[in-house]
Amino acid sequence: MLATRCACGFERLADEEVSDHLLTAFVPDGALGPDGQVHEERDLRACSCGFSATSGAELDNHFLTLFTPPDHIDRHGTHHSPLVPARLTRAVWTGHATRG
């Protein structure tokens, strides 16, 4: 089950998932990563850095892993983390745990 809400109050919309919201919150203008490379989707499931994903979710996780700060605070001072129902025991997204 995917997260349907963000800690900031965002709730999934018909045309925007929580992962889309997180990408908007954390990917900087110009998509310049901490490694000095630009990270943008160039081809289907492929990043401009050369990373190739097997799914859209895997590519999103690549971007979130690179761009999400450890404290999950965006450049405007707002905290963003996906919230999942309490009955779930595993995290939906843990990209922040292994920053590359």
The Cα 8–Cα 68 span in angstroms is: 15
Structure pTM?
0.77
| Per-residue pLDDT, 96 | 39
Please state the domain count of the chain.
1
- pLDDT, position 95: 43
How far apart are the C-alpha atoms of 90 and 86, rounded to whole Å? 10
Looking at per-residue pLDDT, the higher value among 71 and 43 belongs to 71
Q: For 44-79, what is each residue's pLDDT tens digit? A: 999 999 999 999 999 999 999 999 999 999 999 999
CA–CA dist 50, 45 (Å, integer): 10
Give the structural domain span for 58: 5-97
Nearest CA to 95 out of 80, 78, 85, 76 is that of 80
Give me the mean pLDDT over the 27-33 stretch. Answer: 94
